[in-house]
Amino acid sequence: MMGHWIIAPVVLPAFVAGVMVLALRSDLLLKRIAGIGSILALNAIALALLWSATIHGPEVYFLGEWPAPFGIVLVLDRLSALMVALLAALALPVVLYAIGSGWDRKGAHFHPLLQFLLMGIGGAFLTGDAFNLFVFFEILLIASYGLMIHGGGSVRTRAGIQYVAFNLVGSSLFLFALALTYGLTGTLNIADLAQKLPTLPEGDAALLRVTAVMMILVFAIKGALVPLQFWLPGTYANAPGVVAAMFAVMTKVGAYAVLRFGAVVFPPELAATGSLLQDLILPAGLVTLALGAIGVLGATTLPRLVAFGGIASMGTAFTAIGAFTPETSSAALYYILHSTLATAAMFLVADLVTRRRAHARLTEVAPPIAQSGLISALFLAGAVAMAGMPPLSGFLGKLLILDAFRTQEALVWTVVLASSFLMILGYARAGSVLFWKATALEVPAGRWPREGLAFSATIALLAGLAGLTVLAGPLTDWLGETAAGLYAPEAYIAAARLGEGG
């Protein structure tokens, strides 16, 4: 049993960020040490939470010892522990890359903002209260606004304003949905909602459907699901590469929330919503996947290409989530693990390229860059992972998803396979334009530092993908049990100990 450790992924980054802002303002070295230390500790805590959730099952943490439906609770179960572990595992290479590439020198507050982002995302994964989810969304968003415009520049700032405006509208929508939920049920505790919604009177069914759709719209904005994906390419392509890599886990917050709400709060058995969410999310996921693949083929710059690759991976994940069965959810979780690391690795590779070159256009043959041999090898590995080719985990992830959709194979298989083909074309084209030269060109030697740390961080992410591939067997068993537990939320509801208090 983890006791107070459940809140550590929220409190630790918040505390470290506060110390950084107040005490370590001007000392970059100390900020770096504090940042790495905090993230290492977060990794250790996340692994302990994962272990505890696996052994002991779901566990609740009452903030301020207020009893459950009235106070705020954090709930640790296998899914939330897994997502926190993924967050921590991604944060370590990202912070190392930021240090190795010198991105954290370009503004005063990179490290504190990263810590606040970790706090917001970790809290969103752990919370057991819908309004608290909104609060953590805002924390992660306000940190992401700062990170997005890190390094400055007029284009980046104005892309940032679009991103903020879009998300503010999304937040308003979330508040409308929460107010409707509270007006209908008188509670915002997720476990309490799961118990109360089936007992709602018949007359409230229409309102409940509106609420469910509004909630899903908000999560779709976070997860960049078509038709709400417009903010993503501009934001990710204009953000610093290392920040875009960290943002790869931010879209997964949307996927996590859809999974949690679709399985626990609005399950397919709920009469009022029924298969409404399936009917909306599954086709939207397929369209997202197709659009992402076309975007990969048509992107004009490398960061945009990776951003569209990220959209395609969210499409794949949402397709699998959208069926709302344990089998597809298990496949979706494996794919989410894979695509977070793969997208982040590709953003880092794109950053390695764009920082060495005056432009990142894919429409014209580019001059050679320093260290192009290693970078092109990394690009190849990342592209193989993103497109879902063997031998890396993208292939296994797609295979699991295809296998889970045996009953709807005509439509889902066609879209997944055709878009994989488009993505292979897109990455191959980008790779040949960027790296492939018919004649040997003079490489400008000595202009660039070796950046061993930055390369190690990128390689570490790709090694994570290899690890996912090697451990696919035990991992899918574990994910299968996680997904089965998600659709039998009795343990989750029992763990929330409604009306008892700490």
- Structure token digits, residue 120: 């917001």
- Among positions 15, 182, 413, 487, the unique one binding other proteins when judged by CB under 8 A: 182
The pair of structure tokens assigned to 37 is 């230390």
Q: Which stretch binds other proteins (CB under 8 A): 5-13, 155-163, 189-197, 430-438?
A: 155-163
Residue pair 430/387 in contact by the 8 Å Cβ criterion: no
Q: Does 259 bind other proteins (CB under 8 A)?
A: no
Tell me how many residues contact other proteins (CB under 8 A): 51
Pick out residues in 271-300 that bind other proteins (CB under 8 A).
300
The interface with other proteins within residues 225-244 (CB under 8 A) comprises: 234, 237-238
Does 23 sit near other proteins (CB under 8 A)?
no
The span from the CA of 293 to the CA of 425, in Å, is 9
Distances (CA, A) of 424 to 291, 304, 420, 481: 14, 16, 6, 33
Of 56 and 158, CB closest to other proteins: 158
Applying CB under 8 A, does 178 fall inside the site for other proteins?
A: yes
Q: Is 429 in the site for other proteins (CB under 8 A)?
A: no
Residues counted in the chain: 502
Among the residue ranges 36-44, 81-89, 180-188, 341-349, the one whose residues contact other proteins (CB under 8 A): 180-188
Determine the Cα–Cα distance for residues 401 and 393; give it in Å rounded to an integer. Answer: 12
- Single residue of 37, 172, 411, 448 touching other proteins by CB under 8 A: 172
Give me 393's structure tokens.
Answer: 């985990």
| Interacting residue with other proteins among 23, 66, 157, 367 (CB under 8 A) | 157
> Which range in 34-42, 86-94, 133-141, 474-482 contacts other proteins by CB under 8 A?
133-141
CA nearest to 380, candidates 435, 455, 325 = 435
Say how far apart CA 231 and CA 160 lie, in whole Å.
10
Q: Is 105 in the site for other proteins (CB under 8 A)?
A: no
Q: Shortest gap between Cβ of 57 and other proteins (angstroms)?
A: 29
d(CA 213, CA 385): 33
Q: Are 461 and 92 in contact (CB under 8 A)?
A: no
**Minimum distance from residue 302 beta carbon to other proteins (Å):** 7
**Which of residues 176, 200, 280, 484 is near other proteins by CB under 8 A?**
176
Among 23, 33, 44, 165, binds other proteins (CB under 8 A): 165
Considering only residues 67, 138, 205, 217, which one is a binding residue for other proteins as defined by CB under 8 A? Answer: 138
* Contact between 155 and other proteins per CB under 8 A: yes
> Does residue 88 contact residue 95 with C-beta atoms inside 8 Å?
no
User: Shortest Cβ distance from residue 307 to other proteins (Å)?
Assistant: 10
Considering the complex, what minimum distance in angstroms separates the CB of residue 161 from other proteins? 5
Q: Are 228 and 235 within 8 A, CB to CB?
A: no
Distances in Å between the alpha carbon of 169 and those of 121, 172, 463? 20, 5, 38
User: What is the residue whose two structure tokens read 């980008």?
Assistant: 430
**Residues in Cβ contact with 1 at an 8 Å cutoff, skipping those fewer than 6 apart:** 52, 56, 59
The secondary structure of residue 365, as a DSSP letter, is: P
Residue 154 interacts with other proteins (CB under 8 A)?
yes
| Closest alpha carbon to 19 in 116, 106, 95, 100 | 116
Q: Which range, of 49-57, 136-144, 196-204, 316-324, touches other proteins by CB under 8 A? A: 136-144
Contact residues for other proteins (CB under 8 A)?
70, 106, 131, 135, 138, 141-142, 145, 149, 151-162, 164-165, 168-169, 171-172, 175-176, 178-180, 182-183, 186, 234, 237-238, 300-304, 354-355, 357-361, 363
